[in-house]
Amino acid sequence: VTGTVTHTAALIALDWGTTQARAALLDAQGGVLATRAAPVGVMAVRDGHFAEALAELIGDLLPHSDGARLPLIASGMIGSRQGWREAPYLPCPASIEQAAEQLIRVPTSRGVDLAIVPGLICEGGNGQADVMRGEETQLWGAGLPAGSLCILPGTHSKWAWIGEGERIERFATYMTGELYAVLTRHSILGRLMQLGADEDAAAFAQGVRLGLAEHANATHALFAARTAGLTGRLGGAALADFLSGMLIGIEIGSATRERRPERVTLLGEPALCARYEAALGIAGLSSGRASSNATTRGLWRIACAAGMM
Amino acid sequence: VTGTVTHTAALIALDWGTTQARAALLDAQGGVLATRAAPVGVMAVRDGHFAEALAELIGDLLPHSDGARLPLIASGMIGSRQGWREAPYLPCPASIEQAAEQLIRVPTSRGVDLAIVPGLICEGGNGQADVMRGEETQLWGAGLPAGSLCILPGTHSKWAWIGEGERIERFATYMTGELYAVLTRHSILGRLMQLGADEDAAAFAQGVRLGLAEHANATHALFAARTAGLTGRLGGAALADFLSGMLIGIEIGSATRERRPERVTLLGEPALCARYEAALGIAGLSSGRASSNATTRGLWRIACAAGMM
């Protein structure tokens, strides 16, 4: 008999968001054996048919019936009020172990429960609370050293400060991506814009500089994306990148206004990370990138901490 | 023969904006003899049919043919690129006399030209230019003393600093009204809101305080209008007023961050001025209101300075 390394499936990890859901079949060491994706995000599932959505997503992931009772873990909007079941927020500072203790479990039609990772809540000053769902799992999957500051760019960009033992000490959400979307599509700023043109790096940089300088005057600075067009200083194709740069500059200027970080880690979609890298460079801040499959890794780590395998 | 005071028509003054146009028939002292309004704003006029729109607006204002050759003056979006003819921006600081010298004239079908008041352009720091069209006429109509700071709240709220001889020294636009509109209608912030409810003064005040405190962190603070709903701290009816207060608080905090004004004058629609009055009060700033028919008065003053009567 020759020695054979068999990678036995040990966990199904689900990144279950608003529009998309992704599944990964993992071995006991967290190695990825197979993946699937389906457009069965929380907003696409009608009348609570989450069990059917789960079957659609992972039905053919395991051809053999012996995998039918594998443990299941999920993070993201699936744990929101609009999801399968609400997983109450865990307050910051929050560790992997605390998240593992607070997993909530919902029965599936597979004879095993689905464990859902709680989102996090962070009580800021001024009575403002902040929340995340899914990003906590990404952060724990990225293996960030104590003292890290990690940015997860996106529709609702998150800045997270990491402490000892990968505790998420605090975090703040910036509406950068959504502001860009609603202002280009629905406000007067979009009127003079040509969207979908080639990226204009100079206009983007000009926007970043204005955003950094005027972060304390943001709702005024935004109007520059109108006047730069009206006065012919920027053409329609440049205006969208100017606004994108300005919103990212406002975000960086605001988030670093009290304390300048030494180094920042970016975690997210590569094209968007590249924009943030450029903007951080203009702000004189160095940055690096974390590995891209952080969510799967984070789910595996939480499942380990919860003794699910 | 008994003495009779006859108020002879001397000027037709037009407040010609984006959606609406208003006409006033004035005597030589600026007294209002009659007014008309019509939905013939710049965006409603097709294929450049401005002469027809003018006839619709003022056709029945003068029953007698002897008024047909009265001088005509207009301000607002009618002088924009989308208007009847573009009136190039006058740079700040700008006086009534300078505006009167730079009136542009466009022939009408009435045998007299229409004089159009130029908008203003203000070169800020950081290469950001700002523009106004129509508000300059309102400001000159309000008769503001030197040293005044005047706020014209609205879709694009304007802050104007007034110098000697009613010169408009500089101004800044805040996108407050439009941000409120696009965020409530098109962003995730609107999802939990119930619009059209009774005003919630406590939620508004809470928003103002957060906006004032976090004006240098605005694109983060806005997300509180999501989390306050998610965490059940504010109900759907309160969230819209919370966001309104926050945006006004951000505007006031930003505009006064370098220098605190002693007193502010509000010029605009009464319900909106009341919101700003409340917010300025929370910021510890006193305010008064300017007279409401400022545009008509401003047009008359510019026409006088131009020797049109």
Taking contacts as CB-CB distances below 8 angstroms, the residues of chain B near A188 are 156, 178
CB contact under 8 A, B172 and A220: yes
CB contact under 8 A, A231 and B255: no
Q: Which pLDDT tens digit goes with each residue over A232-291?
A: 999 999 999 999 999 999 999 999 999 999 889 999 999 999 999 999 999 999 999 998
Taking contacts as CB-CB distances below 8 angstroms, the residues of chain B near A217 are 172, 254-255, 257
Chain A residue with the nearest C-alpha to that of B255: A217
Taking contacts as CB-CB distances below 8 angstroms, the residues of chain B near A227 are 128-131
Q: Residue B1 above 50 pLDDT?
A: no
* DSSP letter string, B55-112: HHHHTTT--SGGGTT--EEEESGGGSTTSSS--PPEESSB-HHHHHHT-EEEE-TTSS
Q: Testing the interface with B: which of A43, A175, A214 to mutate, by most B Cβ within 10 A?
A: A175
Strand pairing class (B149-152; B157-162): antiparallel
Both tokens of B67, joined, read 């008024």
State the pLDDT at residue B58. 94
Q: Testing the interface with A: which of B128, B179, B191 to mutate, by most A Cβ within 10 A?
A: B128
Average pLDDT over residues B18-25: 95
State the pLDDT at residue B234. 96
- Closest CB to A172: pick one of B206, B220, B233: B220
Written as one letter, the residue type at B109 is S
For residue B74, name the pLDDT band (cuts at 50, 70, 90). very high
pTM to 2 decimal places: 0.94
Average pLDDT over residues B236-253: 97
Residue B221 burial class via C-beta count within 10 angstroms: exposed 0-12, middle 13-18, buried 19 and up = buried
CB contact under 8 A, A129 and B227: yes
Alpha-helical runs (H) found in chain A = 50-58, 96-101, 135-141, 176-186, 201-213, 218-221, 224-230, 236-255, 270-282, 294-305
A49 inside 8 A of chain B by CB: no
Closest CA to B274 of B219, B199, B184: B199
Per-residue pLDDT for chain A (309 aa), expressed as one digit of tens each?
444 556 789 999 999 999 999 999 999 999 999 999 999 999 999 999 999 999 999 988 876 655 678 999 999 999 999 999 999 999 999 999 999 999 999 999 888 999 999 999 999 878 899 999 999 999 999 999 999 999 999 999 999 999 999 999 999 999 999 999 999 999 999 999 988 888 999 999 999 999 999 999 999 999 999 999 999 999 999 999 999 999 999 999 999 999 999 889 999 999 999 999 999 999 999 999 998 789 999 999 999 999 999
Residue B120 near residue B136, CB atoms below 8 Å: yes
Q: Hey, which residues does B206 pair with through a beta bridge?
A: none
Average pLDDT over residues B132-144: 97
B247 inside 8 A of chain A by CB: yes
A86 inside 8 A of chain B by CB: no
CB contact under 8 A, B172 and A210: no
Both tokens of B257, joined, read 């961050």
Q: Who's near A31: CB < 8 A, 6+ residues apart? A: A7
Taking contacts as CB-CB distances below 8 angstroms, the residues of chain A near B172 are 217, 220
Q: Residue B65 above 60 pLDDT?
A: no
A176 inside 8 A of chain B by CB: yes
Distance between CA atoms of residues A294 and A300, nearest Å: 10
Estimate to the nearest angstrom the gap between the alpha carbon of A274 and the chain centroid.
16
Taking contacts as CB-CB distances below 8 angstroms, the residues of chain A near B220 are 172-175, 251, 254-255
Residue B95 burial class via C-beta count within 10 angstroms: exposed 0-12, middle 13-18, buried 19 and up = middle
B126 inside 8 A of chain A by CB: yes
Q: Which pLDDT tens digit goes with each residue over B200-232?
A: 999 999 999 999 999 999 999 999 999 999 999
Distance between CA atoms of residues A102 and A99, nearest Å: 5
What integer best gives the mean pLDDT of chain B?
93
CB contact under 8 A, A219 and B172: no
CA angle B103, A224, B84 (to 5 degrees): 30
Which strand (E) or helix (H) includes residue A35? strand A32-38
State the pLDDT at residue B272. 95
State the pLDDT at residue A49. 96
A221 inside 8 A of chain B by CB: yes
Chain A residue with the nearest C-alpha to that of B175: A219
CB contact under 8 A, A187 and B173: no
